[in-house]
Amino acid sequence: MVDMDALKSGDRRALARAITLIESSRPEDEVRAADLLESLGPTGATSWRLGISGAPGVGKSTFIEAFGLHAVEQGHKVAVLAVDPSSSLGGGSILGDKTRMERLSRDPRAFIRPSPSGGELGGVALRTRDTMMLVEAAGYDLVIVETVGVGQSETAVAAMTDMFLLLLAPGAGDSLQGVKRGIMELADLILVNKADGDLADAARHVVSDHRAAMSLVRPHEPFWTPKVEACSALTGHGLPEAWNAVGAYFEAAGDALTEKRRSQAAAALWGEVVRLATARLRADPERQALLHRLEGELSAGDISLRNAAHRLLDGS
């Protein structure tokens, strides 16, 4: 059983137990997890939900540790969650290496949780979303959701957070061409990390290239023009400015945040309906037999794909 009072008073064991329940794929836990989430009531009224992405090695862990420690020094409670496409495929987890956030993970004002493993991206994202509600209920008011910049997961993270931060670093693979345009368009703040030592000059160039590129991108929030800044997670250079930029975003967002979250929740609801409906259809033996027949008709050219899809959905 999850002790709600303990969870709400910030008890880490109760929180960890609740997250384990949310992540469980046992059918009997589904109902308990749903009940638990409903008993939370609204969460996060004053929280900042920050998505962070960047290619492997740009310095996400180093940055989140330094940024997180800065935040707790300002009086915040910081939770770090992850959406990790590699762990969905049974590989390692980006937050598996808590060692790289050693100081933050030891800080009582911070809570770090690796990505739930297993399942497709949609399922992992849903569970991360639920976990976000739990950590908010437990009093964490800065929720950082990390993902690795390699695929679809950036979109999933941007769709569950208030602000999306893209980390770049000078060097191979991080040139303007290296970053997918679609991901840049999601960014509210681009930070060019490793602006220190020998890399400082190169970082400046990456900043000016991306400022030029971003000036051509249509802002996706009416209240905010995306910014590009340099920083060094290693030396701390530019971190207070990054913190201020995040603060400025939330100040500018004001009430618009409520509306943004509302439409994010609506989109997540439809996403979940699609996932559930697909799973139900796939599990239906009659549908499987029908699918088998339709496959034959499809390959013989007797039916169009769209008609086959309609029939599969209708079950006739």
Ligand X SMILES: Nc1nc2c(ncn2[C@@H]2O[C@H](COP(=O)(O)OP(=O)(O)OP(=O)(O)O)[C@@H](O)[C@H]2O)c(=O)[nH]1
Question: Which residue lies nearest ligand X, judged by its C-beta?
Answer: 59
Single out the residue of 25, 57, 265, 302 in contact with ligand X (rule: CB under 6 A): 57
Q: Which of 8, 32, 100, 261 binds ligand X (CB under 6 A)?
A: 100
> What does 287 interact with, of Mg ion, ligand X, none (CB < 5 to 8 A by kind)?
none
Select the binding partner of residue 70 from ligand X, Mg ion, none (C-beta < 5 to 8 A, by kind).
none
Shortest Cβ 84–Mg ion spacing (Å): 10
As a whole number of angstroms, the distance between CA 10 and CA 118 comes to: 28
In whole angstroms, what is the distance from residue 88 CA to residue 68 CA? 26
Q: What is the dihedral of CA 44, 45, 46, 51, to 10 degrees?
A: 50
Instruction: Rule CB under 6 A: say whether 54 interacts with ligand X.
Output: yes
- Which part of the chain contacts ligand X (CB under 6 A), choosing from 27-35, 80-88, 189-197, 307-315? 189-197
Q: Which residue has the tokens 């390692």?
A: 92
Q: What residues between 137 and 176 interact with ligand X by CB under 6 A? A: 148
Burial classification of residue 182, based on how many CB atoms lie within 10 Å of its CB (0-12 exposed, 13-18 middle, 19 or more buried): exposed
196 binds ligand X (CB under 6 A): yes
Q: Which does 233 bind (CB under 5 to 8 A by kind): Mg ion, ligand X, none?
A: ligand X
d(CA 195, CA 204): 7
Closer of 66 and 137 to ligand X (Cβ)? 66
DSSP labels, 53-93: EE-TTSSHHHHHHHHHHHHHHTT--EEEEEE-HHHHTTS--
Min. distance of Cβ 168 from ligand X in angstroms? Answer: 11
Nearer to Mg ion by Cβ, of 47 and 61: the residue is 61
Of 12-20, 46-54, 61-69, 135-143, the window that binds Mg ion (rule: CB under 5 A) is 61-69
Closest CA to 187 of 262, 245, 123: 245
Closest Cα partner for 101 from 72, 76, 137?
A: 72
Which residues lie across from 82 on neighbouring strands?
146
Q: Is residue 62 a contact point for ligand X (CB under 6 A)?
A: yes
Which structure tokens are listed for 265? 């929740």
- Choosing from 47, 61, 86, 153, the residue that interacts with Mg ion (CB under 5 A) is 61
Please give the residue ranges that form the binding site for Mg ion (CB under 5 A). 60-61
Please give the residue ranges that form the binding site for ligand X (CB under 6 A). 54, 56-62, 94, 100, 148, 193-194, 196-197, 199, 232-234
